[in-house]
């Protein structure tokens, strides 16, 4: 198992030696390596069993440091960066020559993000290189929102996990590409569309999150999935359909008295979508460990962070 702690100096020295470490962010934990070092980045793909066609996001500490990662940054991208970074936003930008093609899977664009977590920001400031980091889970599985989640799945493969507690947002960053001065959403995530629209002063019409979209090769229709089969629908009707199976329930706010307490999770008893996003991945992990055959679930209201929760539920059920 990996060592777990809050020792930034240890994290710095491992990263400088080309090792991988897990880092906390406000969205999910990341599996980080020196973004400039091919031989370190290649270890990320190996540890996650991640296909080489799925590009990595590069993490840094400030908008001022973007010039070491990207070039020709559109004004609208700067406007979004100023408004929302550090925060749960990733911008797809033209890559600078220093970023290896291994990081971007051969693309001439790069995903850039400033995570809003004090420990990881301190780490990034202590380094003289940015960090390439995907979510710290085996490819296709649910993203980790605690150091323990990372340790359970990747603990054998990495020396150190920087422990920043439970992720406060709990769902991955929203990914935006500015194309011809227009904002396109490549992944729904922890920054709500409504907040983005309020800053840019217009409605976002391009939401290109399908798996057929070549600009976001990692957005496969089956992703974020537990090992157990997930069935999405009306929970009452599903309970009747599957009355002979051992079922667990992942509901938005309602408790079901016919199902044992440890085999059901309410995402938010008060119907709060931010709380639902924060609880989603740990709920899926919990249910995955229960003695059940199926996880029955339902969509949440399709607004605010509910859109990202529904996106993940659909992929988990695919």
Q: Tell me how far, at minimum, the Cβ of 101 lies from Mg ion, in Å.
A: 20
Stretch that binds Mg ion, among 60-68, 76-84, 131-139, 307-315 (CB under 5 A): 131-139
Task: Between 91 and 292, name the residue whose CB sits nearer to ligand TXA.
Answer: 91
Radius of gyration of the chain (CA): 19
Task: Between 73 and 112, name the residue whose CB sits nearer to Mg ion.
Answer: 112
Q: Counting contacts by CB under 6 A, is residue 87 touching ligand TXA?
A: no
Residue 27 binding partner per list ligand TXA, Mg ion, none, with a CB distance cut-off of 5 to 8 Å that depends on partner kind: ligand TXA
Options 135, 174, 279, 310; binder of Mg ion; rule CB under 5 A = 135
Pairing of strands 109-113, 89-94: antiparallel
Give the integer Cα–Cα distance in Å for 76 and 74.
5
Task: Between 41 and 296, name the residue whose CB sits nearer to ligand TXA.
Answer: 41
Kindly report the backbone phi and psi dihedral angles of residue 70, in degrees, each rounded to the nearest multiple of 5, phi listed first.
-130, 165
Q: Counting contacts by CB under 6 A, is residue 308 touching ligand TXA?
A: no
Task: Between 135 and 266, name the residue whose CB sits nearer to Mg ion.
Answer: 135
* Residue 158 and residue 20 in contact, taking contact as beta carbons nearer than 8 Å: yes
Q: Counting contacts by CB under 5 A, is residue 268 touching Mg ion?
A: no
The interface mask with ligand TXA, positions 95-134, x = CB under 6 A, is ---------x--x-xxx-x-x-----------------xx
The 10 Å CB-count burial string (b at 16+, else e) for 136-147 is bbebebbbbbbb
Q: Tell me how far, at minimum, the Cβ of 312 lies from Mg ion, in Å.
A: 11
Q: Counting contacts by CB under 5 A, is residue 173 touching Mg ion?
A: no
Q: Counting contacts by CB under 6 A, is residue 266 touching ligand TXA?
A: no
Looking at residues 168 to 197 of the shown chain, list those that interact with ligand TXA (rule: CB under 6 A).
172-173, 175, 186
The interface mask with ligand TXA, positions 207-236, x = CB under 6 A, is --------xxxxx-----------------
Residue nearest to ligand TXA (CB): 218
The 10 Å CB-count burial string (b at 16+, else e) for 236-267 is eebbeeeeeeebbbbbbeeebeebeeebbbbb
Residue 184 binding partner per list Mg ion, ligand TXA, none, with a CB distance cut-off of 5 to 8 Å that depends on partner kind: none
Residue 92 binding partner per list ligand TXA, Mg ion, none, with a CB distance cut-off of 5 to 8 Å that depends on partner kind: ligand TXA
Looking at residues 31 to 60 of the shown chain, list those that interact with ligand TXA (rule: CB under 6 A).
54-57
Task: Between 172 and 311, name the residue whose CB sits nearer to ligand TXA.
Answer: 172
Give the integer Cα–Cα distance in Å for 154 and 281.
16
The site for ligand TXA (CB under 6 A) is made up of 25, 27-28, 30, 54-57, 90, 92, 104, 107, 109-111, 113, 115, 133-135, 172-173, 175, 186, 215-219
């Amino acid at each position: 198992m990996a060592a777990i702690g809050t020792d930034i100096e240890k994290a710095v020295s491992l990263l400088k030696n080309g090792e991988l470490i897990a880092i906390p962010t406000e969205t999910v934990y990341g599996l980080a390596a020196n973004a400039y070092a091919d031989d370190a980045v290649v270890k990320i793909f190996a540890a996650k069993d991640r296909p080489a066609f799925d590009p990595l996001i590069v993490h840094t500490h400030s908008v001022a440091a973007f010039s070491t990662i990207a070039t020709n940054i559109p004004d609208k991208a700067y406007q979004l960066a100023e408004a929302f970074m550090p925060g749960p936003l990733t911008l797809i930008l033209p890559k600078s020559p220093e970023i290896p093609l291994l990081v971007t899977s051969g693309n001439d664009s790069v995903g850039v993000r400033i995570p809003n977590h004090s420990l990881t920001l301190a780490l990034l400031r202590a380094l003289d290189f940015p960090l390439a980091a995907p979510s710290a889970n085996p490819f296709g599985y649910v993203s980790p929102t605690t150091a323990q989640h990372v340790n359970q799945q990747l603990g054998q493969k990495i020396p150190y996990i920087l422990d920043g507690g439970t992720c406060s947002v709990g769902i991955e960053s929203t990914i935006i590409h500015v194309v011809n001065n227009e904002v396109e959403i490549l992944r729904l995530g922890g920054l709500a569309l409504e907040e983005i629209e309020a800053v840019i002063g217009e409605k976002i019409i391009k939401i290109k999150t399908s798996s057929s979209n070549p600009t976001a090769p990692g957005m496969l229709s089956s992703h974020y999935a537990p090992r157990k089969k997930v069935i999405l629908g009306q929970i009452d009707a599903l309970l009747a359909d599957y009355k002979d199976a051992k079922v667990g329930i992942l509901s938005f706010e309602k408790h079901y008295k016919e199902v044992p307490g440890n085999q059901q999770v309410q995402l938010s008893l008060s119907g709060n979508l931010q709380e639902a996003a924060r609880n989603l991945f740990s709920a899926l992990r919990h249910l995955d460990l229960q003695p059940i055959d199926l996880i029955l679930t339902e969509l949440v209201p399709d607004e605010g962070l509910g859109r990202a929760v529904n996106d993940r539920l659909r992929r988990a059920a695919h």
